[in-house]
Amino acid sequence: MASEPTIPAKIIDGTALAKSIRESVAEKITAKQTVFPRFQPQLAIVQAGERPDSSTYVRMKAKAAEQVGIKFRHINVPVESSADHIIKLVQNLNTDENVSGILVQLPLGSHITSADERLITEAVSPEKDVDGFHAYNIGHLSSRASDPLFAPCTPSAILRLLKSTGVCISGSQTVVLGRSDIVGSPVASMLRNEDATVTQCHSRSKNIPDIVKNADIVVSAIGQPEFVKGAWVKPGAVVIDVGINYVPDSTKKSGQRLVGDVEFSTVVNIASHITPVPGGVGPMTVAMLMENTLLAAMRQWEFARNRKIKPLGLTVLEKVPSDIEIAMAQTPKPVTELATEVGVLANELESYGKYKAKVDLSILDRLAHRRDGKYVIVSGITPTPLGEGKSTTTIGLAQALGAELGRPAFACVRQPSQGPTFGIKGGAAGGGYSQVIPMDEFNLHLTGDIHAVTAANNLLAAALDARIFHEGTQSDKALYSRLVPTKKGKREFAPLMFKRLKKLGIDKTDPNSLTPEEVTRFARLDVDLNTITWNRVMDTNDRFLRKITIGQNSTEQGYERVTGFDIAVASECMAILALATGLQDMTDRLGAMVVATSKQGDPITADDIGVSAALAVLLKDAIKPNLMQTLQGTPVFVHAGPFANIAHGNSSILADRIALKLAGTEEGDSADKVGYVLTEGGFGADMGMEKFCNIKCRTSGLKPDATVIVATTRALKMHGGGPEVTPGKPLHETYTKEDLVTLKEGCKNLRKHIENSRKFGIKVIVAINQFASDSDSELALVREESLAAGADAAVVSNHWAKGGAGARDLAEAVVNICEGDSDFKFLYDLELPIEEKISIIGKEIYGADGIELSDLARQQVENYSRQGYGSLPICMAKTQYSFSHDPKLKNVPSAFTLPIRSVRLSAGAGFLYPILGDMQTMPGLGTRPGFWEVGLDQETGQVVGLF
């Protein structure tokens, strides 16, 4: 308690104390930046108008920020700005991760009501409310059961000044004069939390002098000049003067002087400690603002770095139900919640319902500074027609890393085509307790990307045939007049036409200045009908569309031709979607697609036809990756779906790049912060992984750290000479009982895949996908054979039956094997002749003796080389069921020659694809397709029978 003073009150030097606080803040910022150079607190102040007092306060805060190393951002808006406009500014600052703290300088314009002011201050995110004015922070300040994120600056300053005196606050009689939301009420709450007995007075309080006389501590924030007199103060009391009042003073140049709420001249001889005005609470308030801004920055920095997934609980049954029953039994977390957990900002997320969303590509710019996470390609051995659980392994491993080990982990998978979904193979959501959910949405329309690809592909097909028709039915002059019409007396080229003019070497911008010869060259594509390579597509297995005749109606005036349909995921538009590195890159690639050759031997592109920009418009949303989740609530990016036996068989570069940044680390982070991205390559490693390395990685510039090769005893036994495996038919007992001899023979297939992977300089982890019928001896044999073949690790994984917990050992192996840098390298040099590049893949990856080009293929290779496409990588189109072109040749065939039937050009996607054997680009439906089982529960509306 206070005692009788023997000397005048000690002046509580707020200026000196504020200086020491600022120095401490500066030291902490410097120390943090030494470890994490990108750490940079930033304070943003929104000010309406240019009130002299407000501008002075803003300058003070700006100066203090500069002194301590806090970046300062001043947003000055016209005084007449509406509340809605200011709220929008504040909301934008909320989502700007570079801004640590936000302060709205009050007062605002006179038209802003008190209700509007409250809306504005509460628009500030509580996590950035460094002023401490948000109802969330004020509410927590008033509760003894909780702490606010920030205490208001002036009350914090008062408390710090009190503590600097050494006075015992606990048990003291304290009087607070004033009840404002900014000072009086919050400081009263803070003092109560320090166990003071607080009496709060205000303008309607009676007998204030008598109340003050009993106070050990007096805090005056009443806004009346020299209100508190010395006669009121208890001898030895501590007095904190918050007031800032101007009174007339003819001796001052300004005609006024600054005084507090306390009559300093009379109180100074009574109190034991007193704050001066100025030099007391004022500088401390600004110092506390700096401290709050640093606190905000530290919290946000740690939150961004400590990305934590809250796993969903998984109830695992001993008898594993059907895939869809498992999926329907799990309730996904809202995708907005998942996005927050993985570090996607609200303005980067576009929700499509509750459980799926697109992620805006701007996230790559925001996270460009991060070092990528570890990059793992999941592939497999040569599969059976039933599949070997590669997608299931990808998802199970992601669940193990994310939900079991607590590491940032993303699965990146392709969107399934409805062709196999309603055919025989089924979807690609994984299986058992390792799935993407909601699996029905995943396997069906998702966000419409495949439909967008179909629309773009078919628009180009329609545009090509229409152009052929119009060129055949019009004169040069009429054709040119329609292509470049006169509108309102003016004739202009469309923007895309300048690309064609440049290609033709015509350096003119006035349509009227072209010579007759230039008009003909510009207007006529002169398509050689025998060279058209562009088919229409649809996302259904329809074998009867493989070859069709179009133009049979009389309106087409006899312009018939033979063409066909491919499945939508085989479209070059889909390959471009998967390989594009951004919107402009996608647009350029779409324009570069070659659809035919002219009669003069020149390639005809989508740019020549004038449709490329429209294609980009159709795909502008499809280019954004889709965010979903696993059964255990870990993130999955689902994007693009190029077939692996026709196209390059990998999900998008953009999905991988975004995932790698979200799983990445800041400079200064420890090794245990690094996350993992598991991207899936279609079918066996001879297909999806080879194309991933030679095509996808060339385009992306990314280097994989390891490959996981999925193997099953079932597939290995088939390669070892076991009976044929056929969908819908019971498995032979070879596959359900122990057979080490057949299994060991089949392990040669696995050995070849391991050796192939090593040729790319990639570390290899074999994931032995366990089936219930596998014996311990069989699993041990596969592990031994894997290690003997050069695998870095071989781990049995039971994720299908146990979820992430069943893949924990596999996850730990991935973490250990991925340490260190990647030694990745390409298989061949792009500048080699086309035929030689095909031969290298055939010999090195497939084990062929050589290749044999048909006359057509040889002619195409010569044509592409002449046209300047000889330096493109190779994308082999062949069966997935054998290393060779023949699905009947199992295990590791030898002494065979690869027949190259034809070679197609995907100039926009950036590869050439030789077609081997009788490979089809439109699958067909079997006798008993999967659609027989699919339907709706008429009571719940849920999908049933989908796997």
> Could you give the dihedral angle defined by the CA atoms of residues 215, 217, 220 and 226, in that order, rounded to the nearest 10 degrees?
70
Task: Identify the CA nearest to 123 among candidates 104, 100, 98.
Answer: 104
What CATH number did the domain enclosing 875 receive? 3.10.410.10
Are 394 and 526 contained in the same domain?
A: no
Are 434 and 506 contained in the same domain?
A: no
Q: What region, left, alpha or beta, does residue 323 occupy, with left being phi > 0 and alpha being psi -120 to 50 degrees?
A: alpha
Give the pair of three-digit tokens for residue 58: 């803003």
Are 850 and 721 contained in the same domain?
A: no
Write down the pLDDT at residue 141.
87
What CATH number did the domain enclosing 583 receive? 3.30.1510.10
In whole angstroms, what separates CA 900 from the centre of its chain?
A: 40
State the Cα–Cα distance between residues 222 and 87, nearest whole angstrom. Answer: 30
Are 515 and 538 contained in the same domain?
A: yes
Residues in a beta bridge with 436: 630
Number of domains in the chain: 3
Pairing status of strand 173-177 against strand 197-201: parallel
Name the amino acid, one letter, at 107.
P
Of the residues 42, 47, 105, 435, which is catalytic?
Answer: 105
Phi, psi of 801 (to 5 degrees): -90, -20
State the Cα–Cα distance between residues 406 and 815, nearest whole angstrom. Answer: 12
- Asked, for residue 335, whether it belongs to a domain, the answer is yes
In whole angstroms, what separates CA 212 from the centre of its chain?
A: 60
Are 482 and 608 contained in the same domain?
A: yes
Give the pair of three-digit tokens for residue 791: 């695998």
- DSSP E strand boundaries for 206-360: 217-220, 238-241, 245-248, 256-259, 273-274, 349-351, 357-359
State which residues form the domain around 630.
323-447+621-818
Write down the pLDDT at residue 939.
72
Of the residues 129, 131, 566, 608, which is catalytic?
Answer: 131
Using one digit for the tens of pLDDT, what is the confidence trace for 45-83?
Answer: 999 999 888 898 999 999 999 999 999 999 999 999 999
Domain end, chosen from 613, 646, 663, is at: 613
What CATH number did the domain enclosing 340 receive? 3.40.50.300
Using one digit for the tens of pLDDT, what is the confidence trace for 732-747?
Answer: 999 999 999 999 999 9
Give the pair of three-digit tokens for residue 826: 């390409």
Are 741 and 706 contained in the same domain?
A: yes
Residues in a beta bridge with 487: 490
The DSSP call for residue 389 is: S
State the Cα–Cα distance between residues 585 and 475, nearest whole angstrom. Answer: 36
State the Cα–Cα distance between residues 501 and 471, nearest whole angstrom. Answer: 18
Instruction: Look up tokens 């003092």; give the residue.
Output: 191
Question: Count of alpha carbons within 13 Å of 770, Cβ hemisphere only?
Answer: 25
Give the pair of three-digit tokens for residue 24: 């401490």
Domain end, chosen from 613, 636, 658, is at: 613
State the Cα–Cα distance between residues 424 and 384, nearest whole angstrom. Answer: 13
State the Cα–Cα distance between residues 569 and 912, nearest whole angstrom. Answer: 17
Sign of the dihedral through C-alpha 905, 906, 912, 913:
negative
Of the residues 28, 61, 358, 696, which is catalytic?
Answer: 61
Are 607 and 631 contained in the same domain?
A: no
Angle at CA 248, nearest 5°, toward 244 and 254?
Answer: 85
Write down the pLDDT at residue 803.
97
Phi, psi of 631 (to 5 degrees): -60, -25
Write down the pLDDT at residue 938.
72
Name the amino acid, one letter, at 348.
E
Task: Identify the CA nearest to 643 among candidates 459, 429, 419, 460.
Answer: 419
Give the pair of three-digit tokens for residue 67: 């002194």
Q: Is 477 helix (H, G, I), strand (E, B) or coil?
A: helix
- Contact partners, residue 189, CB within 8 Å, separation at least 6: 141, 142
Write down the pLDDT at residue 351.
96
Provide the 10 A C-beta neighbour count for residue 506. 17
Q: Would you call 105 a catalytic residue per the annotation?
A: yes
In whole angstroms, what separates CA 233 from the centre of its chain?
A: 62
State the Cα–Cα distance between residues 146 and 154, nearest whole angstrom. Answer: 20
Are 390 and 458 contained in the same domain?
A: no
Task: Identify the CA nearest to 650 among candidates 907, 424, 379.
Answer: 379
Give the pair of three-digit tokens for residue 888: 């009947």
Binned average pLDDT, 10 residues per bin, the chain of 947 residues: 64 96 97 95 96 90 96 96 96 94 93 92 95 88 85 95 96 95 92 95 93 96 94 96 89 86 95 95 96 97 87 94 90 96 94 96 96 97 89 97 96 84 65 92 88 96 95 93 91 93 94 94 95 91 86 90 90 96 97 95 95 96 97 97 84 98 93 94 93 97 97 96 86 93 97 97 97 95 98 97 97 96 95 97 97 95 94 94 94 96 94 85 63 66 64
Sign of the dihedral through C-alpha 421, 426, 428, 432:
positive
Write down the pLDDT at residue 256.
85
State the Cα–Cα distance between residues 415 and 356, nearest whole angstrom. Answer: 13
- Asked, for residue 289, whether it belongs to a domain, the answer is no
State the Cα–Cα distance between residues 168 and 156, nearest whole angstrom. Answer: 17
Give the pair of three-digit tokens for residue 194: 């320090």
State the Cα–Cα distance between residues 589 and 909, nearest whole angstrom. Answer: 6
In whole angstroms, what separates CA 158 from the centre of its chain?
A: 44
- Asked, for residue 669, whether it belongs to a domain, the answer is yes
Give the pair of three-digit tokens for residue 536: 């229409």
Domain end, chosen from 570, 595, 613, is at: 613
Are 790 and 810 contained in the same domain?
A: yes
- Asked, for residue 29, whether it belongs to a domain, the answer is no
Write down the pLDDT at residue 1.
45
Are 646 and 751 contained in the same domain?
A: yes
Judging by beta carbons within 10 Å of its beta carbon (0-12, 13-18, 19+), is residue 773 exposed, middle or buried?
Answer: middle
- Asked, for residue 404, whether it belongs to a domain, the answer is yes
Phi, psi of 590 (to 5 degrees): -60, -40
- Asked, for residue 928, whether it belongs to a domain, the answer is no
Residues in a beta bridge with 793: 765
State the Cα–Cα distance between residues 400 and 242, nearest whole angstrom. Answer: 57
State the Cα–Cα distance between residues 343 and 363, nearest whole angstrom. Answer: 10
Are 600 and 505 contained in the same domain?
A: yes
Phi, psi of 671 (to 5 degrees): -60, -30
Write down the pLDDT at residue 426.
53
Judging by beta carbons within 10 Å of its beta carbon (0-12, 13-18, 19+), is residue 918 exposed, middle or buried?
Answer: exposed
- Asked, for residue 191, whether it belongs to a domain, the answer is no
Write down the pLDDT at residue 241.
96
Provide the 10 A C-beta neighbour count for residue 119. 16
State the Cα–Cα distance between residues 930 and 575, nearest whole angstrom. Answer: 26
Are 726 and 867 contained in the same domain?
A: no
Write down the pLDDT at residue 539.
85
Using one digit for the tens of pLDDT, what is the confidence trace for 23-40?
Answer: 999 999 999 999 999 999
Q: Is the peptide bond before 642 cis (omega within 30 degrees of 0)?
A: no
Report helix, strand and coil shares of the chain as percent, to nearest 5: 40, 15, 40
- Asked, for residue 802, whether it belongs to a domain, the answer is yes
Q: Would you call 131 a catalytic residue per the annotation?
A: yes
Query: Which helix (H) or strand (E) is 233 found in, with range?
Result: none
Pairing status of strand 676-680 against strand 635-638: unpaired
Q: Would you call 229 a catalytic residue per the annotation?
A: no
Do 114 and 101 contact (CB within 8 A), yes or no?
Answer: no
